[in-house]
Structure 1
Amino acid sequence: MKKILPAILVLFIFQLISCSDKDALELSPITEDSLLLVNAFPNLTFSRPLDFQSPNDGSDRIFVVEQGGLIKIFENDSEVDQATTFLSLENSIASSDELGLLGLAFHPDFENNGYFFVNYTPSSDVSVVSRFKTMDNDSNVADPASELILLRVPQPYTNHNGGQLAFGPDGYLYIAMGDGGSGGDPDGNAQNLENLLGTILRIDVNSSDNVQNYTIPNDNPFVDVDGARPEIYAYGLRNPWRFSFDSQTGKIWTGDVGQGEKEEINIIESGGNYGWNILEGTSCYNDQDCDDTGTIAPIFEYGHENNDKSVTGGFVYRGNLTLSLNGYYIYGDFVSGRIWALENISSATANSILLLETGLNIASFGTDANNELFICSFDGKIYRISEQEQNLP
């Protein structure tokens, strides 16, 4: 994400349209069916929510990450009127600018071991990935003393920290790291395999060695490459702001925020080089005749002509409540508030359909245990997309 803005600098103000007891905004249709953007939990409000997670433990609980350092927990019920604090890192982080508590992932066996993982910035010059555990007698509360630090990644600037965490179908933890910040990647981090910046990392958190609290999967692409960090799964990314696994195909989708011209959507491959800062999208960056040999082009890119300036990666929709979106990759833009659906996602090139213009600062997408899609907005609300004919809460 190019910049997480304070609430007082939100670029767009929207008015919520009241439809009797329906908290919704009317949208443009993707097909003949019109859609609605619904306030999924109208009795709850959050402070700069930027991650939405639900563990696969049968509880149907929702966890919302606030940039300022709180993780809130509540029931997945549109009538819920209270969210409690699961974990507080408010006194342990720097949260200005693009810093803060940036990502959350639950261990695949969370139901039994209580382990979860967070990505946060304790200071402006470092990102930390840590494991925590729930209290032994209460899975709704984390034990703040249980922290086990896995990674400490130096950050030369305060922006482009990435932050997404997710477990893949292979059981390994994937971690998004930005290029270290400033503008144009002045240190060339994203093309430098000797550091962890500008990458998607992949580690095994179920084992450790004498050096670190994790191990490297044997099939990571740079395990046997001299001078390369073996944690790296893919590189050449500027600021991968929100990646996800397609629950049906296992493919990794990410939005990568551009510099000044292009925003891009990538499908991440093992060992892939996504071009930054040689390329911005499919265009040479600051060079009319660059060498793009060995780089992977985005599946889709868009420009900044309509105030679309900071892509927020989403999910391939695999839920059951909004069938017109099934199989589309849903993503948005933090600055313009537009939300799109990418179709033909199995082909070499994809086509994007504008779903709606919300005027919201769209910080993240997330799914619940049923693969239903939710949207985190910096107005403090959590939304979902609904077909108009459904009975709305």
Structure 2
Amino acid sequence: MSSRLGGGRGLVVLVAVALALAGSAAVTGAIGPFQQPSGDEVLDRVEERYESAESITTTAAVTIENESASTTATVEVAAADNRSRTVVTHDGATYRVGSNGSVVWAVGPNRSAAWSADDLAEGDREAVARPAGPAGVTSSEHSERLSRHGHPTVNASNVTATLVGTPSVDGVDTYEVELTHPEADGSTSLWVAQDDYRVVRAVATDGTNRTVVSVESTAFDVSIHDSTFDPPTDRVALSTFERHDDFAAAQSATDLTLPRLDGTFAEATVTVRQGETIVAQRYVTDGGNVSIVSTTAADRFDRLAENASTTTVDNRTVTVSTAENRSVAAWSEDGVTTAVVVEGSTDRAIEIAGRLST
């Protein structure tokens, strides 16, 4: 845990500690008690406790709130070696994501998929399944903050860890450690059990939002059945995932005829999931990033119909909608749906749609 539990930046979801640190050597001995250790010493002992465990299970309640909204999710984690499973229950829905070392999988209320672990970069694995943020906290902001937790951009070596007290939390004697960073807004406070250095509580602020993580239970070196980490075969079909750095390579990887934009090609991903193909291209233009999605999945953009209007572009009927700070122009032809996603107005999405060529 060289990032010191998220580097003190932003919202700390403590169950990620189990995912990051599970699986190394067996525990070689109990950690002896120390009187009034420093903040750095507490974090070092937390790191040792988690890194030395052969397996970890933990359950936590995670609440994200701001002045106008609040949302709570229950998060359950099981991890052993290079295998893990996370179950998130949020707003009446359950999301599951896991890996058995060779396959990364996700199951949500409406979608499910699995990928070869070799096909996915670390960031892609973590973005597979996330619940939405609370009303008033947009899902993109929510995802960004969770990503920032997992991969802090601040220099962890500049984190200041200060022991500020030894309070009791739900009957557990703890060390309270405050983490701050000169480049980061807000702070993070951890409450660590004095007897075995497990984290029992965390509170983090970033200037706008406050996250409270209440760890309800943590168990080290427990027996976890191998099937825990396997995808549910009745709901998940193995998907393929490829990333390409030029248009020609992306086009050669799919039978779909891909549209092209007169901008700078950045990258493309080609995914085949449960028999459906999804190709996402990204271009850089003077007006910002542009994403072009081509897919055989007919329901991919159904949710846009709630606030959509229609227009005509190149004799096509185009559905135009907005989602957060992005605008989407989408149409279907010959069983393939094409969507232009831009940062900005619907007029720009329509203008970009008219510039595509094949």
TM-score surpassing 0.5? Answer: no
Q: TM-score by structure 1 length?
A: 0.25
- Structure index of larger Rg: 2
The structure in which a higher percent of residues are helix is: 2
